[in-house]
Structure 1
Amino acid sequence: MSFDAILFSALFLLVTVSITVGISKKLGVGSVLGLLIAGIIVGPYSPGPVLTDQVESLRHFAEIGVVLLLFLIGLEMRPGKLWTMRREVFGLGSLQIVFSGIVIGAYAYWSMPMSAGVAMLIGLTLALSSTAFVIQILQERGEIASRYGTASFAVLLMQDLAVIPLLAITPLFSEGGVLPDDIPVWEEVLFVAGMIAGVVAVGKYIVPYLLSRFARDRNREAFVFTVMLSVVFAVWAMEHAGLSMALGAFLMGMTLSDSRYRIQIEANIEPYKGILMSLFFVAVGMSLDLNIVMEHPWTIARHVFVIMLIKILVVFLLALTFGFSRSNAFRMSFLLSQSGEFGFVLFGAARVLGVIGDEIFAVGIAVISITMLLTPFCVKLGEMIAAKAPAGRDLIGEIPDEDNFAPVVIAGFGRVGQVVANMLELSQIPYMAYDSDHDLVLRERKKGKSVYYGDMSDPALLSAIGLGKARLVIVTVDSPLHAVRVVSHIKDIYPGLNVFARAKDVDTKHLLIKYGATWAIPEALEASLLMGSETLLAMDIDKTTVDALLDALRKDDYKLLVPEE
């Protein structure tokens, strides 16, 4: 490809993505749908200019974005927190795969000519959901730490583990019908265990030592490359062991979760993750063969509808069985209704081994791509149904005793929340705080702080603690989207309650006020004003003059500080 062709392809892709993502965000269905549609437009199966014919290679390269996403999630998931999710991971996750796989397999056996074994393999493959889509949507909505968000992630984690045995048994359904026996099973198990131990050892001892040295030398480039090297090493080790690349990245992230450089690691990785994740969704859109869809429109539409319906019903019933409220069960079931990116891998392996033919492969890829395409609409529909369902007693947290209820409630007990709490304590004003970080809650409670575990974006928790009795709620959570959800739910249930909120910037402040916040402060601008005022005072400028300047700068919603668009 010539340099001019590369420039044109880049220009064509960026223009297309800008338009489709802008429209999809405007319609309120998130950026993922826009990226998928952009992929369809620039793909080889659509009329007009084509970005590349090497769709599979592009998708493999862009999977690095999924890997980095799982690495960042691992950084937030300390081993102790993962252990508390074992019931959802091994219980709910395993049952979802088994029951969805059996029912979808039965449908595949009935609808297409194939053996029962191959149908079951296809059923288990389509039972897996998309880690990339689900996590991206949860992050965009600020619900990754919610009750249904953590449970959905637990199911996805079990599905990532399930890829290993599914790939291992695929050769059983080929004409030979036997597994390769050149390496004894015990040696394979030992090799896998050794690779996992190697990743943990590198992440626990070698990487922290290198990061410490480079941070001390202020060598930012070496710091960033060491982080990337740790991720690539974990991915290589897991891929070499026959495991999921995403699982290796998650394991490395979790191993580094106790590092004092965790925040800096996140800041360095986030930009690369965002770009590559977007490219991955574009590549998935490019995989959709419109010719196959046009040749068998009703057949593929039936497959998509039945498979998504089966997954919704199975997850919904299992969620209820595991004690989730109906509202969260609806959210989970619609969120996990699509088939996942590992389906591309499993169907590809099955075609190479002769387990399935080209027609079944093409239909399978089309079904997976279309279910991904429909995911934003399914999530929207699930949210609408969940809003009408009773919340029940499915709480994301603890309920304080009646005697411990305080007039001031703090949502989020990070840096800002702790400062506010200290000021209240010094003024002898009782408060109670909620945070979804289990380790932080335990640590602060040992210090005598009145802090409880819970996510205040959950309407069930707000009702259960009787939030209406409070005089004031202070929202200090980091994520702007999470803050908006907290404020919105509080004002929906208790419209007369005063809510003060922390905002990242003026735009976030306007959004919080729009959703009902009584008062919001853009912390970045206020910190800048404080720095500027102290600078002027140090230069012997009169305090009255400085105060007058601050008042002028704050006037009309910081108009003088915010550049006009």
Structure 2
Amino acid sequence: MDPHSFLYSAVLLLVVAAVSVTLFRHFGLGTILGLLVTGIIVGPHTPGPFVTTEVDSVRQFTEIGVVMLLFLIGLEMKPKRLWSLRRMLFGLGSMQVLLCTVAIAGYFRLFYPQWETPILLGASFALSSTAIVIQMLRDKGEVASEHGQAAFAVLLLQDLAVVPLLALIPVIAGVHSSAPSDSLGVRLGMAAVMVLLVLACGHYLVPRALDYLARRKHHEAFFLTALAAMFVAALAMDKAGMSMALGAFLMGMMLSTSRYSLQIEASMEPHKGLLMSLFFVAVGMSVDLAALAQHPFAFAGHVLAIIVIKIVILFALCLAFGIGIASATKIAFLLSQGGEFGFVVFGAGKALGVVDDASFVTAIGVISVTMLLTPMLAKVGVWLAARHLRSRGLGLNDPQWTSEIERAAPRVLIAGYGRVGHTVGTILGSSGIPYVAFDNEAALVDQWRTEGHPVFYGDICNRELLRSAAMQAVELVVLTIDDGASAVRAATLIRSVAPQVQIVARAGNLATCDALRRAGVNQAYPEALEASLRLAAHSLEALGIANDDTEMLLRGLRTSDYGMVRDGPEALDKP
């Protein structure tokens, strides 16, 4: 690509996205809708300048963002937690796919003389958008809510349903019709093998590789290895004819029990945000307004029918599976759109002659427009749910299924778990105060985790790590880092990310103590000076000075900011 052309496209995309997202967020419509509209504006199907005509290629590339999103969801989803969702996964999810396929196929049978195309349309439109729904749930912090967990279970089953759906296309088209069962059997067998390989690598191989790199402080190689593991798992699922996002999720889930899970999540998060934004733009670019305008009423009828069918079936199924009316309403509206995998299915169907050109354009348009409507549909679902709860005099929050860190609800974060951090953690634990600790020494983390301490591998100077679930309920941060410059950097970052928390810190000397206070630390203790003061206090007590007088003297020294000793060697040390 010509560098000038690339620069022009980048400037056009960034300017339009900045304006659109700002406006849509200002009016409370959300970032995703702004990005989708950005895609429509800069796409090749609207008048004016456009970014590219290779929409399919762009969309396929940006699906890496969906892969990364599911990998991060997997890092938050322990295997035990997934097992607890088995009823929703295999019960609610499978019934949703089957019933929506039948109902939507029945609707499209009204427009086609044969069943082949309606069946493919029904099975494809039964799927929902993992990318949009999971991103919306993460943005609102609702992945762990009742409706978030049920919606995730349905989406995961839809990803599993991709294998029989892809095998169904050549059967419908009459390709290899002599042995369709063998074709399906081979696909299912390969899928099972790939799933087992991904699970085995995620449990045994990848954690050992990460441990090796972390112990040698190869931070760049650590990140690249985690990234490679995610893409290898995605590629394995793709080769088996399954969703790449499913492979990434499984790898993330296996790494969720690792002591490196939070650091991996913090490293991936910024890249995921950029790629997901490009994915939503690419979806918007897929909307061909001119083609859809040729039959506007028929197209609008298809969009409305699919949304209504999915809402009705999902709502009824949720109630049948014991989900409350409010959560069922949220789930039904949240999953009422078409899914990004439909782009792949319809492309394959078109190549085999199951879908003609006109049906292909309409199907792609329906998926894109229903995705475009999702933020507004979700708002309608939330409004209806809130109205129902208010009518019954109930609150608006769902029950929560929480992760390991969230379940503990740590009130204290300890940065550095050496001898000082371990002492603080032990005292907090014995007092019944939940805490979480981070250290960048892999061997140290391994040692204390084997003894049951809530210690994770991570760099406290990583901004994304501080924004993770570990920081959400933290009231106090204890900095025990022995390097003064690193402690000051950490304190500055923590204060910028979480201005409301209290910060107490260990300091090597008075100069570091002063620097930490300037960085936003509420209280810093120069350990060498404090040890000297305790030694002096015991000396006075040994010489007959009353204990109360000694403690009063120490309190006076601390209150005066160690004024009596500031002219000594302690004050001359550099931080």
Secondary structure of the corresponding residue to residue 177 of structure 2: coil
Q: Following TM superposition, by how much is the alpha carbon of 1:256 offset from its aligned partner in structure 2, in angstroms?
A: 1.2
Task: Structure 2: give runs of 5+ residues left out of the alignment.
Answer: 415-423, 436-451, 453-465, 474-493, 506-515, 533-555, 564-575
Residue 534 of structure 1 is matched in structure 2 by 525
Which one-letter code corresponds to 2:57 in the other structure?
Answer: S
Residue 382 of structure 1 is matched in structure 2 by 381
1:301-355, CA deviations, whole angstroms, 9 ceiling, x for partnerless residues? 1111111011111111111111111111111111111111011111111000000
Residue 360 of structure 1 is matched in structure 2 by 359
* Stretch deviating more after TM superposition (146-155 or 199-208): 199-208
Residue 164 of structure 1 is matched in structure 2 by 163
Matched, 1:296 2:289: no
Residues of 2 paired with 1:185 and 1:329: CA distance? 34
- Work out the percentage of aligned pairs sharing the same amino acid: 43
Residue 78 of structure 1 is matched in structure 2 by 78
Whether the 8 Å contact between 2:71 and 2:250 is mirrored in structure 1 is yes
Give matches, 1:165-314, under 5 Å: 165-176=164-175, 178=177, 187-314=186-313
Q: Following TM superposition, by how much is the alpha carbon of 1:103 offset from its aligned partner in structure 2, in angstroms?
A: 1.2
Secondary structure of the corresponding residue to residue 51 of structure 1: coil
Q: Following TM superposition, by how much is the alpha carbon of 1:215 offset from its aligned partner in structure 2, in angstroms?
A: 0.7
Secondary structure of the corresponding residue to residue 389 of structure 1: helix
RMSD: 3.7
Whether the 8 Å contact between 1:300 and 1:363 is mirrored in structure 2 is yes
Residue 65 of structure 1 is matched in structure 2 by 65
Q: Following TM superposition, by how much is the alpha carbon of 1:259 offset from its aligned partner in structure 2, in angstroms?
A: 1.2
Residues of 2 paired with 1:477 and 1:301: CA distance? 42
Residues of 2 paired with 1:56 and 1:15: CA distance? 22
Matched, 1:415 2:418: no
Q: Calculate the TM-score normalised by the size of structure 2.
A: 0.73
Residue 131 of structure 1 is matched in structure 2 by 130
Whether the 8 Å contact between 1:170 and 1:350 is mirrored in structure 2 is yes
Q: Following TM superposition, by how much is the alpha carbon of 1:425 offset from its aligned partner in structure 2, in angstroms?
A: 9.7
Count residues in correspondence: 465
Residue 321 of structure 1 is matched in structure 2 by 320
Q: Following TM superposition, by how much is the alpha carbon of 1:113 offset from its aligned partner in structure 2, in angstroms?
A: 2.2
Secondary structure of the corresponding residue to residue 530 of structure 1: coil
Whether the 8 Å contact between 1:224 and 1:268 is mirrored in structure 2 is yes
Residue 54 of structure 1 is matched in structure 2 by 54
Q: Following TM superposition, by how much is the alpha carbon of 1:521 offset from its aligned partner in structure 2, in angstroms?
A: 4.2
Q: Following TM superposition, by how much is the alpha carbon of 1:300 offset from its aligned partner in structure 2, in angstroms?
A: 1.1
- Return closer, same or farther for 1:538/1:285 CA change in 2, 3 Å cut-off: farther
Secondary structure of the corresponding residue to residue 217 of structure 2: coil
Which one-letter code corresponds to 1:62 in the other structure?
Answer: T
Residue 96 of structure 2 is matched in structure 1 by 96
Which one-letter code corresponds to 2:221 in the other structure?
Answer: A
1:248-276, CA deviations, whole angstroms, 9 ceiling, x for partnerless residues? 11111111111111111111111111111
Residues of 1 paired with 2:498 and 2:28: CA distance? 17
1:401-433, CA deviations, whole angstroms, 9 ceiling, x for partnerless residues? xxxxxxxxxx963332699999999889xx999
Residues of 2 paired with 1:214 and 1:343: CA distance? 40
Residues of 2 paired with 1:482 and 1:222: CA distance? 29
Which one-letter code corresponds to 1:374 in the other structure?
Answer: L
Whether the 8 Å contact between 1:72 and 1:250 is mirrored in structure 2 is yes
Residues of 2 paired with 1:378 and 1:387: CA distance? 14
Matched, 1:338 2:341: no
Residues of 2 paired with 1:545 and 1:432: CA distance? 33
Residues of 1 paired with 2:215 and 2:467: CA distance? 31
Q: Following TM superposition, by how much is the alpha carbon of 1:524 offset from its aligned partner in structure 2, in angstroms?
A: 10
Q: Following TM superposition, by how much is the alpha carbon of 1:542 offset from its aligned partner in structure 2, in angstroms?
A: 6.5
Which one-letter code corresponds to 1:354 in the other structure?
Answer: G
Whether the 8 Å contact between 1:30 and 1:140 is mirrored in structure 2 is no
Residue 406 of structure 1 is matched in structure 2 by none
1:228-286, CA deviations, whole angstroms, 9 ceiling, x for partnerless residues? 11111111111111111111111111111111111111111111111111110000000
Residue 349 of structure 1 is matched in structure 2 by 348
Residue 13 of structure 1 is matched in structure 2 by 13
Residue 27 of structure 1 is matched in structure 2 by 27
Residues of 1 paired with 2:102 and 2:562: CA distance? 70
- Return closer, same or farther for 1:10/1:182 CA change in 2, 3 Å cut-off: same
- Return closer, same or farther for 1:432/1:176 CA change in 2, 3 Å cut-off: closer
Residues of 2 paired with 1:351 and 1:218: CA distance? 50
Residues of 2 paired with 1:158 and 1:50: CA distance? 37
Give matches, 1:461-480, under 5 Å: none
Residue 396 of structure 1 is matched in structure 2 by 399
Which one-letter code corresponds to 1:413 in the other structure?
Answer: A
Residues of 2 paired with 1:70 and 1:132: CA distance? 8
Secondary structure of the corresponding residue to residue 323 of structure 1: coil
- Return closer, same or farther for 1:59/1:524 CA change in 2, 3 Å cut-off: farther
- Return closer, same or farther for 1:181/1:130 CA change in 2, 3 Å cut-off: closer
Q: Calculate the TM-score normalised by the size of structure 1.
A: 0.74
Give matches, 1:133-152, under 5 Å: 133-152=132-151
- Return closer, same or farther for 1:193/1:372 CA change in 2, 3 Å cut-off: same
Whether the 8 Å contact between 1:171 and 1:179 is mirrored in structure 2 is no
Whether the 8 Å contact between 1:315 and 1:329 is mirrored in structure 2 is yes
Secondary structure of the corresponding residue to residue 170 of structure 1: helix
Secondary structure of the corresponding residue to residue 534 of structure 1: strand
Secondary structure of the corresponding residue to residue 49 of structure 2: coil
Residue 499 of structure 1 is matched in structure 2 by none
Residues of 2 paired with 1:153 and 1:60: CA distance? 23
Q: Following TM superposition, by how much is the alpha carbon of 1:105 offset from its aligned partner in structure 2, in angstroms?
A: 1.0
Task: Structure 1: give runs of 5+ residues left out of the alignment.
Answer: 399-410, 434-446, 448-475, 484-503, 510-519, 549-565
Q: Following TM superposition, by how much is the alpha carbon of 1:529 offset from its aligned partner in structure 2, in angstroms?
A: 3.1
Residues of 1 paired with 2:349 and 2:363: CA distance? 11
Whether the 8 Å contact between 2:76 and 2:256 is mirrored in structure 1 is yes
- Return closer, same or farther for 1:477/1:289 CA change in 2, 3 Å cut-off: closer
- Return closer, same or farther for 1:395/1:424 CA change in 2, 3 Å cut-off: farther
